[in-house]
């Protein structure tokens, strides 16, 4: 339940985060960069996880209780399993507050992923 090691794809640098990789269009990814970035994409590559992630991301305050988002057509253990995967991928963090566990999306992670898909500024 701890968030000790999260955001494996971004390194905090004081006033923001440094993305793991350049835009996909800037230069060919190295093996390491690809390994790192692929983890993120892979985490979002399952429909159930994508729905869970979207549910959290679009929820008020960028966070949601599991009970608020678990209506995605699979069993409760499966929901828990997918939330764990999203957490391991650095896309979500979690925190227990009393009876409920809240998952939160890190906006900077979203932004970094968006930049990955940006066209390189080639004299636009």
What does the binding site for DNA look like in residue numbers (CB under 7 A)? 1, 42, 45-46, 48-49, 65-67, 70, 74-85, 94, 96, 98-101
Q: Which entry of a copy of itself, DNA, none binds 27, CB below 5 to 8 A by partner kind?
A: a copy of itself
Distance CA 55, CA 70 (A): 9
Q: 3-class SS at 109?
A: helix
Nearer to DNA, 1 or 123 (CB): 1
User: In this structure, how many other beta carbons lie within 10 angstroms of the beta carbon of residue 109?
Assistant: 21
Q: Which stretch binds a copy of itself (CB under 8 A): 7-15, 75-83, 92-100, 110-118?
A: 110-118
Distance CA 42, CA 18 (A): 21
Q: Which entry of DNA, a copy of itself, none binds 119, CB below 5 to 8 A by partner kind?
A: a copy of itself
- Residue 107 touching a copy of itself (CB under 8 A): yes
The H or E element spanning position 69 is helix 66-69
User: In this structure, how many other beta carbons lie within 10 angstroms of the beta carbon of residue 31?
Assistant: 7
Residue 90 CB, nearest approach to a copy of itself (Å): 14
| Measured CA distances, 105 to 61, 62, 90, 102, 119 (Å) | 9, 6, 9, 10, 25
Return the residues of window 64-103 that contact a copy of itself according to CB under 8 A.
Answer: 69, 72-73
Residues that bind a copy of itself (CB under 8 A): 24-31, 34-35, 37-39, 41-51, 53-55, 57-58, 62, 69, 72-73, 105, 107, 110-111, 113-114, 117-120
């Amino acid at each position: 339940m701890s968030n000790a090691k999260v955001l494996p794809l971004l390194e905090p640098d004081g006033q923001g985060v440094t993305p793991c990789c350049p835009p996909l269009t800037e230069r060919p990814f190295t093996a390491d960069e690809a390994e790192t970035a692929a983890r993120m994409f892979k985490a979002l590559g399952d429909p159930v996880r994508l729905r869970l992630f979207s549910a959290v991301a679009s929820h008020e305050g960028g966070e949601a209780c599991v009970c608020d988002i678990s209506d995605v057509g699979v069993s409760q253990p499966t929901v828990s399993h997918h939330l764990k995967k999203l957490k391991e991928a650095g896309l979500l963090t979690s925190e227990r507050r009393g009876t409920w566990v809240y998952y939160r999306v890190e906006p900077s992670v979203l932004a970094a992923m968006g930049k990955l898909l940006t066209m390189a500024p080639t004299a636009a």
